[in-house]
Amino acid sequence: MAISVLDNYDPNENCGILNLGFDILSNIFVESQNLKLLKVSRLFYEISENVSVQIRCRLWQDSCFMDICGSFNPITRGETTKFVMYSLKEWGSHKFIFALTKNDPFNSTYSSIYEYECRINNKKVAQVLPNGSRIRKIYSNSDKSGDKSNSTLEKKEKKYIVEPLFDINDIIPRCKFKDFELFEMAVNAYKIQIDVQKEHGIPSHMLVDGKNIVSIHKPLSEYAFVRCFLKVKSINIELTKCYLENISFDYDDFNQVFKRVLVVGSLESVKILMDYGKKT
């Protein structure tokens, strides 16, 4: 089953008439392209508990900034992330992020948001993002007979694949965790499963692998695990044992980890590593 703090949360919990009114207002705000009006949208959210205005303004804000600076320019990428983080500082909450993932699952900023929330130890948002998923449409040949002579008559069959919002193996080496709980969430992300029919309305026969309950993350690679461990700010016994249970490391990795534990770890953690080193 999927692990989520918002299983029963409805991002459009107001009545249809009220939502329509706020959608009209959000369109006015977006068309005006006035960043000052974003504060007004926040006020509407606090009054109505409706996130549609925030989401539309936020999406316009991101796309406008990307158009100006160039999303693929490595010089401006850092500034883009800072701009997105400013938005989160203004509105950041797990409910907002949840609604954003439902409305814009292909947003490219989720990995940066996850990294940021881990750094500030925001457990609620850091738990929401790995549970998010999206579906991508692909086409495959419907003729499974293997007869190449009828290739001109083959029809393309529409299928779907399920993806996470970001590749956790790519982002984890850059994350700086403050405690074991967030680190453990990342390690166990591969256990997250979702019901595709329930989450996306896609029946199993339309999925490439034909399964309705799917895992959305791959287990952490050893490289990602070691790099992640080396950035944890506080290493305790639980974290050290978790590391030893998941990694078959070489001499260089062990030396790096041991030096890191000497700097930020507890005495008990140092003893555990020393005992392990003697046995191997």
Q: What is the pLDDT of residue 31?
A: 56
- The pLDDT assigned to 71 comes to 40
> Count of domains in the chain?
3
Q: What is the pTM of this model?
A: 0.63
Regarding whether 242 and 166 lie in a shared domain, the answer is: no
Q: Which token pair is 166?
A: 């970001």
Strand segments, DSSP code E, in the chain are 133-141, 156-164, 193-195, 213-215
Q: Do 87 and 30 fall within a single domain? A: yes
Residue with tokens 């203004």: 90
**Same-domain pairing of 67 and 118:** no
60 and 127 both lie in a single domain: no
252 shares a domain with 271: yes
CA distance 172 to 126: 12
Sign of CA dihedral 9, 10, 14, 18: positive
- 81 lies in some domain: yes
Q: Which residues of the chain have pLDDT under 70?
A: 1-93, 140-156, 249, 280
* H or E segment to which residue 47 belongs: helix 37-48
Owning domain of residue 199: 109-139+157-233
- Rounded CA Rg of the chain: 23
Residue 229 lies in a domain: yes
Model pLDDT, residue 53: 46
Q: Are residues 10 and 42 both part of a single domain?
A: yes
- Residue 161 DSSP SS3: strand
- In this predicted structure, what is the pLDDT of residue 20? 60
Q: Which residues pair with 140 in a beta bridge?
A: 157
Residue 218 counted as domain residue = yes
